[in-house]
Chains A and B, each alone.
Chain A
Amino acid sequence: MTSPNGALLEADKLTIQFGGLRAVDQVSFVVKPGEVYTIVGPNGAGKTTVFNLISRIYDVTDGRIVFQGHDITRVPAHRIARMGIARTFQNIELFEHSTVLHNLLIGRHCRNRTNLFTEIFFTPGVLRQELEHREKVEKIIDLLELQHYREQIIANLPYGVRKMVELARALSTEPTLLLLDEPASGLNIEETDDLANYIDDIKNDLKITILMIEHDMRLVSRVSDRVLAMNQGRVLAEGGPAEVQRHPDVVRAYLGA
């Protein structure tokens, strides 16, 4: 389901003001279904803030966010996952004292239909639901090749694996739109290559649209269909990866000339 203009997600003149600072200023863009759309920009450009606006952790000062034709500008944060928007965090926000499996099962929370009373008695319905969650989660584990880590505590896992677990947890929510906040930061070249393949799989096999923030231009060029460049809360340029990289304003923003 999309908006009349064919957009999956539409950001319309997004603005947020923290005191005297406009972290995001009149940012508009449109994400079409099935594409990988990347936001690039130097540190402090307001990229993560845009994510926090879409996942409704922050309230916009001005502007609108439309997802699948619904205005989600005022939808509470905990309902966003249910609507089909999942996200990862720049610096990994996993549930560290739990196992990988447990983390992914929490990702299933927004699809849960049991209530407190059936859970206390652990009725057959609850058991059925748990098994259903587990099967969905196992599919994601297969896709991202996490079988080996399934029962391990997050605190014992290396950074690269944690990044993958976070991606897996976001996928467990069965999203339509996946927000990836710097998925390749802290990954080595090999892991980044794997990530590029996974992103392709997610896009082509799971048919999930991806909105991504990323600094690694190699990865950006490889997977993105369209790129948006931001600096100091404003849009600098939009277009294909190569086109945006050549754009004079973008070059200036990065080199500071």
Chain B
Amino acid sequence: MRNIFKTSYVQDIRLFEHGGHVFWYGLLLILVFAAPLVLPQFFVGEMSLVFIYAVAGIGLMVLTGFTGLASLGHAAFLGIGAYAHNYFVTKVGVPFPFALMLAGFVSAGFGIAFALPALRMTGIYLAIATLAFAVIIEQVFSHWASVTGGFRGVAVAKPNLFGWQTTTEVHFYYICLVVLIVITLGTRNLLRSATGRAMMAIRDSEISAQSMGIHIARTKVTAFGISTFITGVAGGLLAHKLQFISPEAFDLILSIQLLLMIVVGGLGSLHGCFYGAIVVAFLPQFLSLVKDVLPPSIGNIPGLQGGVFGLILVLFILLEPYGIYGRWRKTRLFFEIFPLYRRATFKRQRGYLKTERMK
């Protein structure tokens, strides 16, 4: 087990706890930057999808994993981001990076406007409200033809960076990677400062968060704003990835995929977004590979992909509520403190001792 000798409070605040982290994350960074040099085009394309999903996952994680507010409508914010981005690029002529940011802001505007009335609800009721919002937004996409192209959708050109027209999957890969890194660092910074702590406090106990001087409504709206901003940016990238956007691209299934992603990855951790994104991005490819091997009576069942997604979600909730990242932490701890590992360390405790809730 690694024992860290702490000599300064800064050690607890830094992005990387110790040299080991610097080494491994540095290595990972080098690998992902070098990957397009060796990987075939197809995989480069799939990797950029992983990055986009990871950005969207971070967006939803801020809301669901860290603030404890479930959303079943995040596909709508992806959609708003995608359409807004495309609109700014093609109709207004805003340069790519600014259009992406504007897409985030438009999405956050919708998010905040939705949050202000909706945050009186919590839990399942909020989830239903977000679902309703997503359905309404899908209708707007279908009918506001002058901006969205209606049912026929719109084609999206490859990104143009200040006059430099990107052409290949590799170019796009690097754009997604840079956006992902910026979003990850920004979110991580937020989580290690007061606003992030306030969000987690609300997740764990609203009543005492309030008594510690946290403005519940404002913090929740902030969380909604940040979450939908990030999701909107992911939407802008997704538009380029899909090359063609139409209302049915942002349906309920996508919202559920996003939720699946953060649950499977591990709720309440940034790492979880990445693990989840890998699962969600590669599972369809994996299934289509397996389909060829399976007997046609099983392989050709309609809705196989949805079924497998659902099954994975159920299995994770039942067997590993902390997701892939939780499993990794347990495994690591098992070896670190071998043979002293106790299964109870990660057991969920039942809250027998809660104050009579005042709301």
Q: Does B190 sit within 8 A of A, measured CB to CB?
A: yes
Give the CA-CA distance A121 to B207 in the complex, in Å.
30
Structural contact, B189 and A121, CB atoms closer than 8 A: yes
Structural contact, B213 and A109, CB atoms closer than 8 A: yes
Q: Which residues of B contact A145 (CB under 8 A)?
A: none
Given A119-B194, A120-B186, verify A81-B212 contact (CB < 8 Å).
Answer: yes
CB-contacts of B150-197 with A (<8 A)? 186, 189-190, 192-197
Expressed in whole angstroms, the minimum distance between the Cβ of B357 and any Cβ of chain A is: 10
Structural contact, A95 and B204, CB atoms closer than 8 A: yes
Q: Does B214 sit within 8 A of A, measured CB to CB?
A: yes
Q: Does B300 sit within 8 A of A, measured CB to CB?
A: no
Q: Which residues of B contact A97 (CB under 8 A)?
A: 200, 203-204, 268
Given A89-B355, A130-B13, verify A169-B193 contact (CB < 8 Å).
Answer: no
Q: Does A2 sit within 8 A of B, measured CB to CB?
A: no
- The 8 Å CB contact of A52, one of B208, B222, B358, is B358
Chain A, residue nearest B8 (CB):
A131
Tally chain B residues at the interface, Cβ within 8 Å: 38
Expressed in whole angstroms, the minimum distance between the Cβ of B148 and any Cβ of chain A is: 31
Give the CA-CA distance A135 to B355 in the complex, in Å.
31
Q: Which residues of A contact B294 (CB under 8 A)?
A: none
CB-contacts of A71-119 with B (<8 A)? 76-82, 86-87, 89-98, 101-102, 105-110, 112, 114, 116, 119
Q: Which residues of A contact B120 (CB under 8 A)?
A: none
Number of A-B contacts (CB under 8 A): 123
Q: Which residues of B contact A86 (CB under 8 A)?
A: 211
Structural contact, B216 and A78, CB atoms closer than 8 A: yes
Q: Does B354 sit within 8 A of A, measured CB to CB?
A: yes
Give the CA-CA distance A119 to B192 in the complex, in Å.
9
Expressed in whole angstroms, the minimum distance between the Cβ of A100 and any Cβ of chain B is: 13
Give the CA-CA distance A107 to B213 in the complex, in Å.
8
CB-contacts of B1-40 with A (<8 A)? 9-10, 12-13
Chain B, residue nearest A51 (CB):
B211
Q: Does A134 sit within 8 A of B, measured CB to CB?
A: yes
Structural contact, A131 and B9, CB atoms closer than 8 A: yes
- The 8 Å CB contact of A77, one of B204, B205, B211, B349, is B211
Q: Does B146 sit within 8 A of A, measured CB to CB?
A: no
Q: Which residues of B contact A106 (CB under 8 A)?
A: 197-198, 200-201, 209, 212, 214
Structural contact, B9 and A92, CB atoms closer than 8 A: no
Give the CA-CA distance A156 to B347 in the complex, in Å.
9
Q: Does A242 sit within 8 A of B, measured CB to CB?
A: no
Chain B, residue nearest A131 (CB):
B9
Expressed in whole angstroms, the minimum distance between the Cβ of B347 and any Cβ of chain A is: 8
Give the CA-CA distance A223 to B12 in the complex, in Å.
37
Q: What are 15 pairs between A and B in contact, CB < 8 Å?
A: A57-B210, A77-B210, A79-B213, A82-B213, A91-B353, A93-B211, A101-B12, A102-B197, A106-B200, A106-B214, A109-B201, A119-B195, A120-B190, A122-B189, A134-B12
Q: Does B327 sit within 8 A of A, measured CB to CB?
A: no
Q: Most chain-B CB neighbours within 10 Å: which of A52, A77, A106, A116? A: A106
Structural contact, A98 and B204, CB atoms closer than 8 A: yes
Given contacts A79-B213, A92-B353, A156-B345, 12 further A-B contacts (CB under 8 A): A78-B214, A87-B211, A91-B355, A96-B349, A97-B200, A102-B200, A119-B189, A119-B193, A120-B190, A126-B189, A134-B13, A135-B9
